Chain A
Amino acid sequence: MAANEKILEVLDLHVQYFTPRGAVKAANAVNLYVKAGEIVGLVGESGCGKTTVAMAILQMVQPPGRIVKGEIRINGHNIVNLSEAELRKVRWRELALIPQGAMNSLNPVLRIREQMGDAIQAHEAISARDLKARVLSLLNDVGLPERVYNMYPHELSGGMKQRVCIAMAVALNPAIIIADEPTSALDVVVQRVVAQTLLDVKKRLGVSMIMIGHDMGLQAQMVDRVAVMYAGNMVEVGPVESIFAQPLHPYTQLLIESIPSIRERKPLKVTEGLTHDLRNPPTGCCFQFRCPRVEPRCLQAQPAMIEAGPEHLVSCIHYQAR
């Protein structure tokens, strides 16, 4: 597999939720790719569409939502409009999900060995002995001791359950793992242990990841590239170093400035923040209501993504050549 091969490509994705009071445009013309062995962070505030994009990649958008337009390619094959049977093969084998609050999704009456075994057996024929060896090696991969094999979820702490979910996600060697806030609701020390586990697994298995999150600190620690979403639009994508060193889009700048520091005390940066109704977006840039640099020409159309540096794309009129 070539290092720069694009495992996953999202092309011009539009997702809308059809409510009685109009269609909620949860994702507009989103473009994103993930290369082999890379972690892409997907950030933005709640309701910005990051989970919607993840669900669309997995073809799991819940009604009344629907993919209106766009393609999702895995290893070059478009999976939008595949039949449910074909999709089942793609999910888990190619794509795995660590859902938000995954640790609470474990079945309380099944032992860990049964939960993990069932997930594997549902997708491949495997002998009982091989299955046990496989589950044990997966537990080992995520740094859990062997005795977890026979335990029930309630006997495990939150961090351990989260690691079981990671083990289940990698069980079928997927090409891409989508992790939706994999460490939220965990204590900060445990969060660090789980984050470490994820990085470790990624390195060992060479799997690619999309990590959804809102904690910019965690993103800085974990991901290779960051994709910033605002109100259903992708506003900036770039390598993590350049996003943190030189954020271009005013919204990204705001996000980075508003990270509370534990290193120095500084005055708070206060901004008004009212996002428009996603059913009725304004003409022009999606960030116009909150942008400190808004100009009349911003109100004409959503700016196209332009390349501002190597792999660094931004959707802001201020970086367009006049």
Chain B
Amino acid sequence: MEQPILSIQNATKIFGGGFLSSSKPIVALDRFSLDVYESQSKIITIAGESGSGKTTLANMILGFTPCTEGKITFNGIDLNQMNGEQRSFYRQEVQAIFQDPYEVYNPFFRVAHIFDMITRHFKLARSKKEAQELIEEALNLVGMRGGEILEKYPHQLSGGQRQRVMVARAYMLRPKLIVADEPVSAVDASLRAMILDIMLRLRDTRHISFLYITHDLSTAYQISDLMYVLFQGTTVERGNTAKIIEDPRHPYVQELIDSIPVPNPKIKWNMNIKLPSEEVMRMKNTVGCRFYPRCPKRMDACTKAFPPMVKVSEEHEVACYLYQ
């Protein structure tokens, strides 16, 4: 069997709760597992709302935060035990695009600085001319031309342009995987499609996989192959994107999909969804299912232990006792 290039095994992140701290530990991500294979480039959605742990996961994969438990390996090497050379290689193979395409530009420098950094530190080119060609090629791929933007300052570009430059930058390194943390949330609706389309093209023609981290199930449905839905750090449903969206099984995922406003004034919300009181919402169920306090179909078994993943159909698994 093929070995995964990136393998996340039971990755857990607990914040706080050190022996000197007075606050209770917060489990930001609980035993998350995921494998990315080189032979099949895929767009994998990590979906979740605020507090679901999706950004923590991104930070762990990018090496900004270490795992508390579990591990992340790349070509079999633990991320936390890499030497300088291995880390540098990892950085080239696993790149990132972030949510706010303005924040990622140092306001002090021109746009070209973004490309200068990688050409210098990854030694991408032997000459200035070669570097220019590489940059131009990457920019052309996202529908831009170097002469128009490289000498500008970031604030002189539009949000969509800034994000496309970031995609071009990531592409220039020819990575195997790009972690895209909410890449279109801060981009205007009419321009989102362009960024998403570039992601699809990179997947199909350059065989780059994406971890598409988002709260927006609609765009995930449009572009992704696989999906993991997180709730308060736990994986509640995972598998084929279309199967999950078209036939959600977990009560949380059902509620989520049901709440997305339908862009058709003739199909109004079926009103009166009620959330339980704040005390109930805040009561974190740390042993059993995290969704228990809000779940319309809760049972006694849900509080005893975290529900194991159950296969409901090919490429579709759900962590819920309803399907046991």
Contacts and interface: CB of A to CB of B under 8 A. Distances in A.
A273 B275 contact: no
B202 to A, nearest CB: 14
B222 A265 contact: yes
Interface residues of A, number: 48
Nearest to B252: A189
Given A262-B218, A265-B242, A188 B190 contact: no
B264 A270 contact: no
A214 B189 contact: yes
Contacts, number: 130
Contacts of B191: 45, 271, 273
B152 to A, nearest CB: 13
A204 interface: no
A41 to B, nearest CB: 10
A288 interface: no
A5 interface: no
A190 B294 CA distance: 12
A258 interface: yes
A187 interface: yes
Interface in A224-283: 240-241, 244, 251, 254-256, 258-263, 265-266, 268-275
A132 interface: no
A198 interface: no
A262 B215 contact: no
Contacts of A244: 263-265
B20 interface: no
B160 interface: yes
A244 B242 CA distance: 26
B216 interface: yes
A155 B257 CA distance: 28
A314 B268 CA distance: 26
A191 B259 contact: yes
B159 interface: yes
Given A45-B189, A270-B194, A260 B273 contact: no
Which of the four size classes fits the interface of chain B? Answer: 35 or more
A262 B245 contact: yes
B158 A192 contact: no
Interface string B217-242: 11101110000000000000000001
A258 B265 contact: no
Given A189-B275, A191-B259, A271 B221 contact: no
A217 B261 contact: yes
B204 interface: no
A134 to B, nearest CB: 23
A19 interface: no
B275 A193 contact: yes
A215 B221 contact: no
Given A46-B188, A268-B196, A262 B259 contact: no
Given A261-B222, A265-B242, A215 B197 contact: no
A51 B196 CA distance: 27
B239 to A, nearest CB: 16
A145 B262 CA distance: 29
Nearest to A156: B278
A12 to B, nearest CB: 27
5 contacts: A46-B188, A157-B278, A220-B263, A220-B265, A260-B221
Interface of A: 45-46, 145, 155-157, 159-160, 187-193, 195-196, 214-221, 240-241, 244, 251, 254-256, 258-263, 265-266, 268-275
Interface of B: 49-50, 143, 158-161, 188-194, 196-197, 200, 215-219, 221-223, 242, 245, 255-257, 259-266, 268-269, 271-275, 277-278, 281-282
